[in-house]
Structure 1
Amino acid sequence: MSEANAVYRLGLDVGGTNLRLGVFSGLTLVEETRFRANYSAICKEFAPALAWQTILQVTADAIRPLLDKYAGIQAIGIGFPGFIDPHTGVLAQSPNLPGLRDVNLGHDLGKLLGLPVRVENDANAAAYGEFCQLSQPVGGLLYVGLGTGVGAGLVVNGSVWAGQHGYALEAGHIIVVPDGRLCGCGNQGCVEQYASATGISRAYADLTGQTMTALDIARAAESGDRHAQAVYADAGSKLAQMLASVLKVIDIENVVIGGGVVAAWPLLQAAFEQRLEHDLIPVLRGKIKVHVSSTGDIAGMLGAALLAA
């Protein structure tokens, strides 16, 4: 097939402060771009209706140059953080985007761009991308993403399982510390407040009084900073605590852990493995295969693009 007649799909992964956009031909990434877009800041600055119109315009502005460059883009998929109804595509709420409720990104953006747009929870999209990259393992796959927050997605029998209302596998909001840190979802002690990049940064600040990014804390840990090492060890332990609880319920063999924080996996690994072995019920021990993502963190874009088909 010639370049002019090639068929492409566009996948977007919406992060805390930027959009990642990938043009795909099948499983192959043809081009990736990034676009500065702090949706959280937009939601805090403007009233909900104006914030939504701003988000739509920013997203469209990010997409249009790729539509102009790749005429063969036939569908757009977006991995978006929040609770999305699988039947209507309506975003009911996003814990990290205050005031954003009952909006339909797929419908509204599709009208602006003149192309079909499918919106999926960001962790579900990443789960599907990892599932396809692992050659569709028998039984399915559980994905846990460690980024600005903690997300999870489940693929069973080749399909994303979102639950009856679209809110399944919100594992980042499993409580691991009763009456612990306040979470954006309204509860206290969610694992997201300990094992995400934001949680790691907050934990280090609580210990030292210093505000640093998770990446800088990882570098400090590698240089011997005991507080930084302790924060990452605690993040690994809390992650395993959550994962063991989920696995007791869904009993799935393949687990992939991805997201930006896994770049520091060696700092998490020992505490994670020790706690997971301790917390799993005995019949599951030795049966769980935990993979660290090897997709180069493109799974969210890839899954969104494939689901758009």
Structure 2
Amino acid sequence: MPEASAVYRLGLDVGGTNLRLGVFSDLALVEETRFQANYSAICKQYPPTQAWQTILQVTAEAIQPLLDKYTGIAAIGIGFPGFIDPNTGVLAQSPNLPGLREVNLGHDLSGLLGVNVRVENDANAAAYGEYCQLGQPAGGLLYVGLGTGVGAGLVVNGQVWAGHHGYALEAGHIIVVPEGRLCGCGNHGCVEQYASATGISQAYADLTGQTRTARDIAQAADSGDIDAQTVYADAGSKLAQMLASVLKVVDVENVLIGGGVAAAWSLMSAAFHQRLEHDLIPVLRGKIKVHITRSGDVAGMLGAALLAA
């Protein structure tokens, strides 16, 4: 049973097909639950207004049992995919959630639940969670999350850098293949179309004519499937190409790779490091520490919870 006097924080990480909810005491995860919620499918099934109301109801339904159990929770943090204004909390657009524009999840959920809700870009939340778990490294942290899409966040001197409009570090939409695959953001050739789970699945389909999940493709690669190995190597190379460009601008010491696709890092690592070393400017070569997350994807929930508090 929760301690009556304990201070708890609640953080949500919105994924492609489910919500992950974590209750924290300081940095320690006290309880984690998952809730089936395919926001992308909802957005495709309903008109925008109906889709938004459905998303609100589903999210509130997921949260309420934890609020009932941990009565001391005073604020909720949510890591949400999309372009979020840090001053107003308004979601301008979400490339992977078609039709959602100019909506305010924090404001609307606060009204439903009676608890203050803060919404942060999901990659920013994960970046902050990883930064805190790494002991707040002085050299700063650039986080890259490889999931349904590719997100990134930058933390320097204990602060998430979101930029003036809140859309900084949208590194998943850096173009690595001119006139390449159409991306949900409207451009062509974004790294998200090659290094995310969705991109890996599409690359394999283009190469073989077979539709498989990124996880299945990774298993095939481990079993010797040359096409699967090629797709993952290309994903690693494209990721490094993007990172080399970003690092020339932000110049941090630590890069952390997270998200579900990072579980297959052994298939991407060689091509990644070869391309990164090639594309970095000479003065940065050998000075960048690349880490693979060991948080078990807890960082997104943790970062959201800490930022809300």
The answer to whether the superposition gives a TM-score over 0.5 is yes
Provide the rounded CA distance (Å) in 2 between the counterparts of 1:63 and 1:149: 24
Amino acid at match of 2:80: F
Deviation at 1:5, TM superposition (A): 1.5
Aligned match of 2:306: 306
Aligned match of 1:142: 142
**2:102 is the alignment partner of 1:117:** no
Provide the rounded CA distance (Å) in 2 between the counterparts of 1:72 and 1:140: 33
SS in structure 1 of the partner of residue 74 of structure 2: strand
Provide the rounded CA distance (Å) in 2 between the counterparts of 1:140 and 1:3: 35
Aligned match of 2:80: 80
SS in structure 2 of the partner of residue 153 of structure 1: strand
Deviation at 1:139, TM superposition (A): 3.1
Provide the rounded CA distance (Å) in 2 between the counterparts of 1:153 and 1:255: 10
Provide the rounded CA distance (Å) in 2 between the counterparts of 1:140 and 1:248: 14
Q: What CA deviation, in whole Å up to 9, does each residue of 1:178-210 have, x standing for no partner?
A: 000000000000000000000000000111111
Q: What CA deviation, in whole Å up to 9, does each residue of 1:217-266 have, x standing for no partner?
A: 00000000000000000000000000000000111111100000011000
Aligned match of 1:51: 51
Question: What are the residue-to-residue correspondences of 1:17-36 with 2, within 5 Å?
Answer: 17-36=17-36
Aligned match of 1:186: 186
Provide the rounded CA distance (Å) in 2 between the counterparts of 1:258 and 1:214: 15
Question: What are the residue-to-residue correspondences of 1:204-215 with 2, within 5 Å?
Answer: 204-215=204-215
- The count of corresponding residues between Structure 1 and Structure 2 is 308
Aligned-pair RMSD on alpha carbons?
0.7
**2:197 is the alignment partner of 1:197:** yes
**Mean Cα deviation higher: 66-75 or 140-149:** 66-75
Deviation at 1:157, TM superposition (A): 1.1
Q: What CA deviation, in whole Å up to 9, does each residue of 1:16-38 have, x standing for no partner?
A: 11000000011000011000101
Q: What CA deviation, in whole Å up to 9, does each residue of 1:76-105 have, x standing for no partner?
A: 000000000000000000001111000110
Amino acid at match of 1:200: I
Unaligned runs of 5+ in 1: none
Provide the rounded CA distance (Å) in 2 between the counterparts of 1:44 and 1:204: 24
User: Deviating runs (4+, > 4 A) in structure 1?
Assistant: none
Amino acid at match of 1:130: E
Aligned match of 2:130: 130
Q: Give the TM-score, by structure 2 length.
A: 0.99
Provide the rounded CA distance (Å) in 2 between the counterparts of 1:286 and 1:140: 17
Provide the rounded CA distance (Å) in 2 between the counterparts of 1:107 and 1:156: 28
SS in structure 1 of the partner of residue 4 of structure 2: helix
Aligned match of 1:222: 222
SS in structure 1 of the partner of residue 180 of structure 2: coil
Q: What CA deviation, in whole Å up to 9, does each residue of 1:14-68 have, x standing for no partner?
A: 0011000000011000011000101111111111111111100000000001111
Aligned match of 2:154: 154
